[in-house]
């Protein structure tokens, strides 16, 4: 066998981070994330600035990071077996690390409602999005950068390190996880029509 493999199952939210920190302390070469973006984020944030590499085996409901990177289950195993690694950017918002996207407005609102639902998958997300759209009120945001400050009334503002939320729902199509920049997308209020 090429690798000495240990399989560990998570038992609670945040457990993947604990297990990954233990793997880093033991000087493990790779930690494979078998799951979706939530599991991957828990693992990846514990690998920042370590010598342990992340492998992604995407079996979650959206798999935004894996899809951005062009990784499916078969390709994931090939990448790991070939020992191919690349450095990727990570981001922080309110001291929380993220790798794909973060934002304000409608998308985090729907994500919160989706997380509260017992059912997963694209249809559940779509149902939540349609239901919540009818109730959602837009807000005005102030965006500050080194170039100045602007006010925008927005349906949502998304910051993309990766190009999509998952399920090929692209919010920042030109995002590049190796350019040291976030792509900011502003969607202004719109009517259902």
Separation CA 51–CA 87 (nearest Å): 11
pLDDT digits (tens, 9 = 90+) for 147-172: 999 999 999 999 999 999 888 889 99
pLDDT digit string, tens, across residues 81-123: 888 899 999 999 999 999 999 999 988 888 777 777 777 666 7
**Neighbouring residues of 159: CB distance < 8 A, sequence distance ≥ 6:** 91, 93, 101, 102, 103, 172, 182, 183, 184
| 177 or 124, greater pLDDT | 177
pLDDT at 122: 67
**β-bridge pairing 53-58 and 30-35:** parallel
Q: Residue 36's closest CA among 73, 6, 3, 1?
A: 73
Indicate the pTM of the whole model. Answer: 0.83
């Amino acid at each position: 066998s090429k690798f000495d493999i240990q399989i560990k199952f998570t038992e609670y939210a945040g457990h993947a981070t604990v297990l990954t920190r233990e793997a880093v302390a033991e000087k493990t070469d790779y930690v494979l994330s078998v799951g979706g973006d939530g599991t991957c984020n828990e693992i990846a944030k514990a690998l920042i600035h370590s010598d342990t590499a992340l492998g992604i085996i995407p079996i979650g409901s959206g798999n935004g990071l894996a899809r951005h990177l062009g990784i499916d289950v078969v390709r994931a195993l090939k990448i790991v077996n070939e020992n191919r690694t690349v450095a990727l950017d990570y981001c922080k918002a309110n001291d929380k690390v993220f790798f794909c996207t973060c934002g304000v407005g409608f998308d985090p609102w729907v994500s919160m409602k989706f997380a509260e639902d017992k059912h997963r998958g694209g249809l559940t997300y779509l149902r939540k999005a349609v239901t919540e759209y009818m109730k959602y009120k837009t807000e005005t945001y102030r965006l500050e950068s080194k170039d100045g400050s602007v006010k925008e009334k927005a349906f949502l503002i998304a910051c993309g390190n990766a190009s999509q939320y998952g399920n090929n729902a692209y919010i920042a199509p030109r995002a590049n996880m190796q350019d040291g920049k976030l792509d900011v997308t502003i969607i202004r209020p719109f009517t259902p029509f």
